Structure 1
Amino acid sequence: MSARGTIRALVTASAVSGLLASGAGARTLDLADPQDAVTVSRKMGCSVKDNVPVVFHWTGRAYSRVPGEPDRHLFDVEGMNIRQCGTVTDPERGTGYRMVSRELMFYQDPETGAVLDRWTNPWSDETVKVYHVANDPVNMHPVYPVGAGGEPYAIPNAAVKGRWFSMPIEVPLFYRNPLGGAYQDYVGNKYHAMEIFDFSAEAETVLDGSTDTADAFVAWVRIADWLPWMKMGGRPGMMVLNATGRMLGGFSDLPPAMRERIEADYPAFTAPPPVDDRRPNETSWTYFKKQIDAESARPE
């Protein structure tokens, strides 16, 4: 039997064993077991039940960092991601899951907390229109107990620390900027950012084979280029965002003010995409480009 075949057989046996154990009563999931690791990963992000919407909600602050001047608290932020998972199977890689989602984040006045429609740039004194984050979809590649190269799945850097389970994720981003031209390989201007997620939950809940979700908390840091709608041009500097949040049961558990704004202005975001959604992912930059292009195409 090939190495991949051996791993697949072990994973299949583990899955069967887990189903038998769950029928007899709850068992403790084992992070060293690839099938259990997939289950833990799924519980930290959504529900082990298919087509059950889950929401992450977060609040935080956004700062500027410019060489030679103090950091400025530019905005508060409030965001949500509504998602669901579906089971997927592969003859070589076993049974896993795929997560699909939509996400919104509003920029708020740091003094009043009001959602901003216009913002005065303190460096240029120009008042600009605010484009909030409205990314639809934000979907992930399937997660299987067997990796693409035949390796057993493991959650990188996941650990149990006392009563807490932690799952840190760093996402370095460096790719062609959709607002740039065709010559970025020669002149630079590629999009450059770092996303840092630190998920945590009570280990007892995460590793309990009878629970559907982990009731997870998240800390999120984003270090990135200026937001395009700020019209900063080539001014040196960057944005630093810091936020914390948690998993909620569903859309109805969001704060009332946010829920009402979504229902009025972003009704598609009251539910996740279907689990078979195959659209390309949206980013803040691609969404902004679509908005600007659409506005430019409108007759005067």
Structure 2
Amino acid sequence: MTLRLLQSPGLTTEKDPELNLDDPETNFMSLMKLRGDLSGKDFFFAFPGQAWAMVPQEQNLKCFRTFGFGSGRLEKVAEGYRIFSREVLFYLDPVTGEILQEWSNPFLGGRKVEVVHIQNDPVNGVFPRSGPGPLAPPYPYVSCGDMVAFQWNFFIQHPAAMKRKEYPLYSSGDIDQHAELWGLMGRKSDIRNPDTTSAYCTMSWSRVADWLPFMEMGNAPGKMVFHSHSLKLMDGPRELPRKVLDYIEKHHSEYLAAPTVWNGPQMTSSAQVFKGIIDKRRAGQ
């Protein structure tokens, strides 16, 4: 078997005669088939993992187990594909796995804080066939034998949703600086198969970011590190653990289907959602 990488001036490898991922169109369509379903049907991912706190020169602490679920849909357009999606992520007790409603923050002497789960709706964007932008190809990859892994690295810096002056308990700073690191893995034989529109895919997702706003850590030194592995649910939400599916059906049933309305790219963030909750409470709503 031969290890192959996306070609670069300083490192070239032999091209794959069956699936040439250095060809721009093949590279693009291969990732689309792994990430979604080319037929336009809804697709689903589950992503269990962990969330750790790292306090510099002091300690590392596993704060939560996590369980995420997302639904999405691809729509072919002139420039490439639109993705319509929404996602939830629940914070679980690190020992029992129970979905938390409150959490005893050990960094605050065990004071209880209300847990606010991630509810990003919608997360809509465009995968363009070419051009600038974080979602544009060519997508870096590594392949060997029948396996291929694509990589996305997003290092993000922009004004924070909550400024320190107005939200001192919840904001780590006026700039939101974080990283989202993705790997998307599948089989080249699934991608090449003309009888399927959706190739099975596993993903890895890591996030390095400031404190979660609900932890009420303000600008104390420290970072949160998330690490999850995601599985494409080829048989839909019924593949979820029964307890998780019951919770979603009861509290977040809209997440069991992809959004249907396109109002342009809309990348809802958990910080925006949390700010909305706090603003409503301050307004007495």
TM-score range (shorter-chain normalised) is 0.7 to 0.9
Aligned to 1:225: 210
1:110-134: CA deviation from partner (whole Å, max 9, x where unpaired) = 1110001001111113211000000
Q: Which one of the candidate residues 101, 111, 119 is aligned to 2:103?
A: 119
Q: Distance in 2 between matches of 1:207 and 1:161?
A: 15
SS at structure 2 position matched to 1:140: strand
Aligned to 2:160: 177
Aligned to 1:106: 90
Shift of 1:104: 0.3
Question: Is 1:79 aligned to 2:68, yes or no?
Answer: yes
Q: Distance in 1 between matches of 2:131 and 2:219?
A: 41
CA contact (8 A) 1:131 1:288 kept: yes
SS at structure 2 position matched to 1:41: helix
Shift of 1:100: 1.0
Shift of 1:211: 2.2
Question: Is 1:39 aligned to 2:25, yes or no?
Answer: no
* Counterparts of residues 78-227 of structure 1 (less than 5 Å): 78-90=67-79, 96-124=80-108, 125-144=110-129, 146-147=130-131, 154-180=137-163, 189-227=174-212
CA contact (8 A) 2:125 2:266 kept: no
SS at structure 2 position matched to 1:274: coil
Q: Distance in 2 between matches of 1:161 and 1:57?
A: 26
Shift of 1:182: 9.2
Q: Distance in 2 between matches of 1:255 and 1:117?
A: 19
Q: Distance in 2 between matches of 1:190 and 1:172?
A: 13
What is the aligned residue count?
A: 260
Aligned to 2:170: none
Shift of 1:69: 1.7
CA contact (8 A) 1:84 1:275 kept: no
SS at structure 2 position matched to 1:71: strand
Q: Residues 233 and 88 (structure 1 numbering): CA distance in 2 closer, same or farther, change over 3 Å?
A: same
1:237-274: CA deviation from partner (whole Å, max 9, x where unpaired) = 00011111211122232222111111111121111101
CA contact (8 A) 1:100 1:277 kept: no
Aligned to 1:58: 47
Structure 2 unmatched runs, 5+: 1-16, 167-172
Q: Which one of the candidate residues 249, 253, 257 is aligned to 2:239?
A: 253
Question: Is 1:271 aligned to 2:257, yes or no?
Answer: yes
Q: Could you say which structure has the larger radius of gyration? A: 1
Opposite residue 162 of structure 2, the aligned amino acid is L
1:65-116: CA deviation from partner (whole Å, max 9, x where unpaired) = 00122210100000011101011015xxxxx211110000000001110001
SS at structure 1 position matched to 2:22: coil
Among all aligned residue pairs of Structure 1 and Structure 2, give the percentage whose two residues are the same amino acid.
29
| Greater alpha carbon shift after TM alignment, 246-255 vs 108-117 | 246-255
CA contact (8 A) 2:182 2:205 kept: yes
SS at structure 2 position matched to 1:32: coil
| Greater alpha carbon shift after TM alignment, 68-77 vs 154-163 | 154-163
Aligned to 2:277: 291
Q: Distance in 2 between matches of 1:75 and 1:141?
A: 32
SS at structure 2 position matched to 1:172: strand
Shift of 1:29: 4.8
Q: Distance in 2 between matches of 1:241 and 1:148?
A: 28
CA contact (8 A) 1:64 1:74 kept: yes
| Greater alpha carbon shift after TM alignment, 29-38 vs 204-213 | 29-38
Give 1 or 2: higher strand fraction.
Answer: 2
Shift of 1:181: 6.1
Shift of 1:163: 2.1
Question: Is 1:241 aligned to 2:231, yes or no?
Answer: no
Q: Distance in 2 between matches of 1:268 and 1:290?
A: 19
